[in-house]
Structure 1
Amino acid sequence: MLKFPRSQGGKLIKYTATLIALILLSNSALASLEEGVDALKIQDYASAIKYLKPESENGSIAATRYMAILYESGKGIPQNLTEAIKLYEIAANKGDAVSQTSLAALYQHGKGVNKNYKKAFDLYQKAADQGFTDAMVALADLYSDGLGTEKHPERAASLLQTASQNGSPAAQNNLAAMYMNGVGVEKNLPKAFELFQSAAKQGYVVAQRNLGTVYDRGLGVTKNSVEALKWYRASSAQGDAIAQFALAQMYQYGSGTDVDYSSALKFYKLAADQGVGAAEYQIGYIYWKGVGVRKNPSEAVKWFQQAAARNFPQAQTNLGEMYESGRGVTKNEAKAVQLYMQAAKSNYPQAEYKLAKMLKDGRGLPKNYSTAFMYFNKLAEKGMSEAQSELGVMYENGLGVDKNYEKSATLFRQASTDKSASGLKNLGRSYAKGHGVPKNLVISYALINCAHNIEVNDIDIHNELDSTRKAINEHELQKALTLSLAIDREGLTAIESFLATQ
């Protein structure tokens, strides 16, 4: 019970009334703040502002912070970043760690102010010094990236260790990533798993997705597709786009569950709605190839276009193929070239190969053997069998390079080793003509027949096979068919065995 000093006559001294008024005012302010916070919890923003704004104007740090949050978000009041920053600064200058952190985030991302990493760093540091874990996590990010300070992953890890021990799921997730990659700490996959699991069990959406990935790939834990599916689902349910994409993949390929194309398409579309280019590409591919749905070239074009607009090279390449062939769109080889060029800027091999073919053949743009040769040579050195075969064609015919049958035959042989239909066909042609190898029509037919078995609908291969058949007799045909089977089983070494018996 409060006791007040009395005058000799038993009356309260003068300041008593003032003190009582201050206490009542304080209680009233506290009640208003609580009512404002309660209104925020139920998203009654009009009532929240009614209670919080006067308290903010009367100097309440908490009310000032809440009003800043409302101005920043535009909830219940027109968004006003200038006013939000002003209020955050007032509360931050009074030592409010939450406001310091929120203001730092605005400076870090240039929201309502010019980006200022140093200012963000200083504000995060002030809040972190007060033990505010969100600030520690954000400060660790700046140390990791070297923004506003020197790059120092060890300090980042130290901050995350502290915040993690204080129970921050964000810190646990980020520290787990550092253990996973051995950045700032010694690589430790079991420790990473333990931290991801702790954060995921607290409902932290990114950690749930990461835990799914850990189980999916068997990183620091026994691979478990069922557990991966469980955590991808949990993260996906919270709206994580990457988890939605991963979940779609599991449904598409039947990993941890039965194949379910309908669910795969559903989750790809959820991820695509959040701008995931890979999901847009996958939807396009599903409609292009008819994976679990009826083929729909025009729908495929629509989704490939969306992914291509995000510079997703696979989508640009597939869309280019559709323009090249006129499938789902009006045939336009110039447009195809444009798309191949865009994808080639990302060093996407298939786009470089397609572009090189257009350059070699002069389709969609003037012939340019030197540039085509450059692309084919680059890809051939990386082991792309189709490029090895095309490069062999250039050497065989002297396209932008001196004719060299030995070189062309070597390249065709390299391509054939990977069971490339074009490589087998071209090596067969080399044996038919004696280009770089001894002329031998039996071997020629055997190789072209192998190519035909791989690409049964290829008209060029069919014509080559028919032409070679006319040049050999029935006995030679039987030997060629036997050799063809041997090549399928043993590879090109079967040719050496065949020659040794002749």
Structure 2
Amino acid sequence: MPCFRPALWLLLLACLLAPAVALGADNAEAVYNKGDYASAFKELKPLADAGDASAQYHLGLLYDFGLSVPKNPAEAAKWFRLAGRQDNAKALYNLGLLLTASPKLAASPGEAEASFRRSAELGEMPAQFALAELIAKGGSAKDGPAQAEHWYRKAAEQGDHKSQYRLGMMLLSGKATPANIQDASKWLQMAAEAGSASAQFQVGVLYDKGMGVHASPQEAARWFAKAAEQGDADAQFNLAVEYDRGEGVPHDPAQAAMWLEKSAAQGDVPAQLALARWYLSGHGVSQSAAKAADWYGRAARKDNPEAQNELAGLCAKGLGVRQDQAEAARWLSRAAELGDASAQNDLGIRYFEGQGLRKNPMAGYMWLTLASWQGHAGAKSNLEYAAAKLTDKQKAQADKAAKAWKMKR
């Protein structure tokens, strides 16, 4: 009768059991992929307890997303860590995501970054992008822009269009390495072809300016149109400009207005300003002071000084809105506080005249002084007129107030 030595017997037993364990893991993953999470849990748990990395990863997913079990981030992190110790790249990536969302679960301050880094080193594309994003946003204790560019490139080479776009923009800016417009153009084109609206807009800019490609108004308009149709507000604005000028597309003010309105509706301030001007003049749209005031108002509430100035003018004249000198003064005050010289000049005059606010010659002198310091031509002559109405002491106090205001800026 044959006799096996203990070590040889154990080796033979391991060889016989290994295919069964692998078969069990494959079957459990198949059940998971079908969406039968309750059955998957029953099959995955013993395998995970036995040390199977893939089972541990999938068990972590069940706890992470609350699939057939109560959502439990701490339990998910535990299983992702166990799988990660066996270099399961997906588990490491998911652990990084989990710890980024719930930093208190981290075993150490840098665990999320370390998890992303190891997963990225193992070739996991989403982890490469996540690590690049973390570094680019200043979240890494040791790496800078050059390493962000490195990991964006790694993910870009695997076809990730978000990384292709980010890499292209970094190469354009020269933040990490000297600017390389040709290389930037290549990656941005790849991302654009993959459907990235941001990249499509940027490629349009490249063709518009002839950067890294031969300048072509037609190509610029084509890429702006692709991004605009996906809802990119910047592209919608630029496409409106192309239609208004007839560059790369037929001259069509109505089409220009349509795209301008789409961009403005998304909150693009330059589009809101342009649309307001068009409604005032009737360019490409039916003239409407009320709609002009509405669009100026939207931009003004975003602290755009030009819009605040224009809205103040409409309020003062009662164009498109109820005439209200106090409201006009309020908008001028906001623009003046933002440093707009024209608003400072107009506000200074209002303080001298007591128009829409309480008369205060010293405050008026202060605002006229600030406007004149910025080279506003009207303010200089207005200041001379105002100086004659104040005592030397009052002028000195107003000058002091102007200097104090400027210091705060």
TM-score (norm 1): 0.61
Question: How much does 1:211 deviate?
Answer: 0.9
Maintained 8 Å contact 1:333/1:364: yes
Task: Name the residue aligned to 1:292.
Answer: 284
Question: How much does 1:194 deviate?
Answer: 1.9
Maintained 8 Å contact 2:168/2:188: yes
Alignment of 1:50-129 (within 5 A): 60=55, 63-64=58-59, 83=72, 87=76, 90-91=79-80, 93-95=82-84, 97-98=89-90, 100-101=92-93, 104-105=96-97, 118=110, 120-129=112-121
Question: How much does 1:27 deviate?
Answer: 5.4
In structure 2, the gaps of 5 or more residues are 1-12, 49-54, 393-409
How far apart in 2 are the matches of 1:89 and 1:378? 63
The counterpart of 2:247, out of the listed 255, 268, 277, is 255
How far apart in 2 are the matches of 1:24 and 1:277? 59
Question: Deviation digits for residues 154-205 of structure 1, max 9, x if unmatched?
Answer: 2222223333333333222222222212211012222221221122222233
Maintained 8 Å contact 1:124/1:138: yes
1:173 aligns with 2:165: yes
Question: How much does 1:94 deviate?
Answer: 2.1
Maintained 8 Å contact 1:55/1:64: no
CA 155–112 in structure 1, closer or farther in 2 if over 3 Å, else same: closer
Question: How much does 1:103 deviate?
Answer: 5.5
How far apart in 1 are the matches of 2:222 and 2:18? 60
Question: How much does 1:388 deviate?
Answer: 0.9
Maintained 8 Å contact 2:290/2:320: yes
How far apart in 1 are the matches of 2:26 and 2:143? 48
CA 393–276 in structure 1, closer or farther in 2 if over 3 Å, else same: closer
How far apart in 1 are the matches of 2:388 and 2:210? 49
Q: 3-state DSSP class of the match of 2:250? A: coil
How far apart in 2 are the matches of 1:283 and 1:115? 50
How far apart in 2 are the matches of 1:252 and 1:68? 55
The counterpart of 1:218, out of the listed 210, 225, 242, is 210
Question: How much does 1:18 deviate?
Answer: 9.6
1:307 aligns with 2:299: yes
RCO comparison, higher one (Cα < 8 Å, 6+)? 2
Query: Alignment RMSD, CA only?
Result: 4.0
Q: 3-state DSSP class of the match of 1:292? A: coil
In structure 1, the gaps of 5 or more residues are 1-13, 37-47, 381-386, 404-502
Q: Identity of paired residues, percent?
A: 24
Opposite residue 29 of structure 1, the aligned amino acid is A
Q: 3-state DSSP class of the match of 2:228? A: helix
Question: How much does 1:51 deviate?
Answer: 7.5
1:373 aligns with 2:368: yes
CA 150–26 in structure 1, closer or farther in 2 if over 3 Å, else same: closer
Task: Name the residue aligned to 2:229.
Answer: 237
How far apart in 2 are the matches of 1:347 and 1:56? 64
How far apart in 2 are the matches of 1:341 and 1:259? 40
Maintained 8 Å contact 1:356/1:375: no
How far apart in 2 are the matches of 1:89 and 1:127? 17
Task: Name the residue aligned to 1:390.
Answer: 379
How far apart in 2 are the matches of 1:104 and 1:66? 13
The counterpart of 1:246, out of the listed 230, 238, 255, is 238
Question: How much does 1:221 deviate?
Answer: 2.8
Q: 3-state DSSP class of the match of 1:94? A: helix
Q: 3-state DSSP class of the match of 1:317? A: helix
Task: Name the residue aligned to 1:34.
Answer: 33
Question: How much does 1:346 deviate?
Answer: 3.7
Maintained 8 Å contact 1:85/1:103: no
Opposite residue 250 of structure 1, the aligned amino acid is E
Maintained 8 Å contact 2:316/2:328: yes
How far apart in 2 are the matches of 1:219 and 1:356? 46
CA 345–178 in structure 1, closer or farther in 2 if over 3 Å, else same: farther
Task: Name the residue aligned to 1:316.
Answer: 308
Computing the radius of gyration over CA atoms, which structure comes out larger, 1 or 2? Answer: 1
Task: Name the residue aligned to 1:152.
Answer: 144
Question: How much does 1:313 deviate?
Answer: 3.2
